[in-house]
Amino acid sequence: MTKAAIVVLSDPNSGSDESLGRLFNALASVYDFKHRGDDVTLLFQGAGTRWIGEVTKSTHPAHELFEAVKDKVAGVSCGCADVFGSSEEVEKSGFDFIKDNPVPGTSGLPSLQKLIVDGYAVLTF
């Protein structure tokens, strides 16, 4: 069985089509893995933590696709949510904060090393 970890890093505040394209393609990749029966997980990290406040809105163009894969969301980088000001939106969403990589000076980030050791291919968008 294929194991994939999809990490969203793009910033919705950039105002570019590229950022939305990266999110859309990340979600589409999760959808593809999910519907082929593979082990897939989705993480939001860096400025990508800001997407939670956007994509959970029913009016967002990627909302329907997000709803189809939200059961695959592992969570949101705690330290990145702190830095990029999205902690409140993440709390409202109910998604978990991930902090299994205790980076000094932060509240913790996801461990990509752990994912790789666990056999996941890590794809970033």
CB 99 within 8 A of CB 93: no
Burial 70-80 (b: 16+ CB within 10 A, else e): bebbbbbbbbb
CB 29 within 8 A of CB 68: no
* Token digits of residue 102: 């205790």
Residues 70-88 have pLDDT tens digits of 999 999 999 999 999 999 9
Average pLDDT over residues 89-117: 96
Kindly list the strands in the beta sheet with 97-98, ordered across the sheet, starting from the edge strand earlier in the chain: 97-98, 73-77, 39-44, 3-8, 121-124
State the DSSP code for 12. G
- Domains of the chain plus CATH, in order, are 3-124 (3.40.1260.10)
Residues 14-51 have pLDDT tens digits of 988 999 999 999 999 999 999 999 999 999 999 999 99
In the prediction, which pLDDT does 25 show?
Answer: 98
Report the distance separating Cα 102 and Cα 24, nearest Å. 29
Q: In one letter, which amino acid is 99? A: K
